[in-house]
Amino acid sequence: MFEMLAYDFMQRSLLAAATVGAVCSVIGVFVVLRGLAFIGAGTAHAAFAGVALAYLVGLPPLPLAIVFGLATVWVTGVMEEQGRMKLDVSIGILYTATMALAILFIGLMKGYNAEVYGYLFGSVLSVTPDELRVILVLSMVVLGVLLTFSKELYFIAFDQEMAEASGVPARRIFYLLLTLVALTVVVSLKTVGAILVFAMILIPASTAYQLTHSLSHMTAYAVVIGVACAVGGVLLSYGWDLPSGPAIVLLATTIFFLSVLLSPKRRRRVQTA
C-alpha cells in the first residue's frame, strides 16, 4: 500500500487532490448557503471553453480559463441582481453557449488533443510539478481571501440585504465570492475536470449541511469530508486503475447519500412527524 507513495507522481497527485478538496469544500459552504450552485456549474463550462481556445491559438490555458470563468460569473451575478429574467433560464443559456464555444474551438483544432480532454474529465495522476505549484499558490490565495472575509461571507450567505443594512459592503462581498468561485473552478480543472468540478464544490458542503446546526462546524466538517474524499478517490483510482475524477466524485456522492440517511436533521423530522 505505502510503496506507491514513493513515486513522485503519486505524491504530487495526492497533494493536488488534498489541496483541491480543501479549497473546493470551503468555497462550497458559501456556494451552498448562498444558493449559487448553478452559477458555479456554468462557470466550469465557461472555464473549459477558455482552455479549449488557449489550445486552439497556442496560448497558456490557465489565464484564458480565468478570463472566461470570471466573465461568466460576473455576468450571471449581474443577472441575479437585476432579476429581469429567471436566473435558471439565463444561466442555462450561458452554460450551454459556453459549452458550444468549447466544442467549436475543439472542432477547429487539427487532430485530436488529449490534453484538452484532460481538462474536461480531470487527470490528477498526470499533474506536473509546474501545475502543482500553480494549484498550491492559487489555492492559498483563495483560502486566504476566504479566511479574511469569512464573517462578511457568512453574513451575506445568511441574509444579504440584512448584511447591507447593518453596514457590511454586501454587494462587493457578493462579487468577491463570485470571483473566488471562478478561481476555485480554474484551480480544480486539471484535477477533477470541468464536468465534475462542481461536485467537489457542492458535495462536501452539502454533506456537512446534513450533519450540523452551526456555521463553524459546517465549514470544518466540509473540509474534512472534501480532503478525505479527494485523497481516498486518488487511492482508489491508483489501486483499481480507475479514472481519478469519477473515483473522487462517486466516493463523495456515496458519503453524501449516507449523510442524508443518517442526518440528525432528518431524524428530528421523522420524530416530530
Partner 1 sequence: MAKTIIRFDHATFGFSDVIALQDISLDITEGEFVGVIGPNGSGKTTLCRAVLGLMQPMGGSLQIFDCACEELRCHHRARIGYLPQKGALDRNFPITVLETVMMGRYGALGLFNRPSKRDRDIALEALSHVGMEDRLDSALGHLSGGQQQRVFIARALAQQPDVLLLDEPTTGIDITTQHSVLDLIRHLHRDLKLTILLITHDINMIRSSVDRLVLLKTRLYAAGPPEEVLRPDVLRQVYGKDLVITEKDLILVEDYHHHH
Q: Which stretch binds partner 1 (CB under 8 A): 20-28, 43-51, 110-118, 160-168?
A: 160-168
Q: DSSP string covering 48-67, please?
A: HHHHHHHHHHT--HHHHHHH
Complete DSSP assignment for 206-231: HHHHHH-S-HHHHHHHHHHHHHHHHH
Residue 206's Cα: distance from chain center in Å? 13
Supply the minimum distance, in Å, between the C-beta of residue 163 and partner 1. Answer: 7
Our finding on whether 92 is near partner 1 (CB under 8 A) is no
| Distance separating alpha carbons of residues 26 and 153, to the nearest angstrom | 11
Q: Binder to partner 1 among 54, 218, 230, 231 (CB under 8 A)?
A: 218
Among 109, 158, 262, 267, binds partner 1 (CB under 8 A): 158
Q: Rule CB under 8 A: choose which of 136, 212, 220, 228 binds partner 1.
A: 212
**Which position among 82, 159, 257, 267 is part of the footprint of partner 1 (CB under 8 A)?**
159
Stretch 20-49 residues interacting with partner 1 (CB under 8 A): 33
Which CB atom, from 119 or from 174, has the smaller least distance to partner 1?
174
- Taking residue 8's Cβ as centre, other Cβ atoms within 10 Å add up to 8
CA distance 30 to 206: 11
168 lies in the binding site for partner 1 (CB under 8 A): yes
Minimum distance between the CB of residue 131 and partner 1, rounded to whole angstroms?
32
| 63 near partner 1, rule: CB under 8 A | no
Task: Supply the minimum distance, in Å, between the C-beta of residue 32 and partner 1.
Answer: 10
Which of 218-233 are b and which e, b meaning 16 or more Cβ less than 10 Å from the residue's Cβ? Answer: bbebbbbbbbbbbbbb
144 binds partner 1 (CB under 8 A): no
**For the chain, first and last CA: distance in Å?**
48
